[in-house]
Amino acid sequence: MNDAELPECGVARFLMLFDGPWATLIIRELMHGPQRFGELRAELDGISAHTLTNRLRLFESRGIVTRTAYAEIPPRVVYELTPLGLQLRPVLDAMNEWGVTAPVAAFTSEAA
């Protein structure tokens, strides 16, 4: 996709990277600091290795996450947010605030 094909709407652009149930949760976990793949997977109950790998690769290719591989035995790879990724903190904070203050009915079948 080139610049001319990007949506004008910032929300639509955001959702190009952060759609699906795991994207923002991965970023949330990385807000706690650098983490290894296994640590992330343990915190994200139910995520498949395939999904986590694909998301981390996408985030790395877009400059949101860095991947540092250490020449050790056993190999050690650490993921962490870049300055661009860290700019997502207020977005996640706002999502969290809304999620904990919205009426329970908003999340259940009894809503509206």
Q: pLDDT tens, 44-93?
A: 999 999 999 999 999 999 999 999 999 999 889 999 999 999 999 999 99
User: Residue 74 is encoded by which pair of tokens?
Assistant: 């056993």
Report how many domains make up the chain: 1
pLDDT number for residue 80: 98
Domain extent for 72: 9-107
2 within a domain of the structure (yes/no): no
Half-sphere exposure of 8 (CA within 13 A, CB side): 0
At 13-35, the pLDDT tens digits run 999 889 888 999 999 999 999 99
pLDDT number for residue 5: 82
- The answer to whether residues 17 and 23 touch, using CB atoms and an 8 Å cutoff, is yes
73 within a domain of the structure (yes/no): yes
Question: Which CATH number is 65's domain given?
Answer: 1.10.10.10
| Spatial separation of the C-alpha atoms in residues 96 and 75, rounded to whole Å | 35
17 within a domain of the structure (yes/no): yes
4 within a domain of the structure (yes/no): no
23 within a domain of the structure (yes/no): yes
112 within a domain of the structure (yes/no): no
Supply the pTM of this predicted model: 0.87
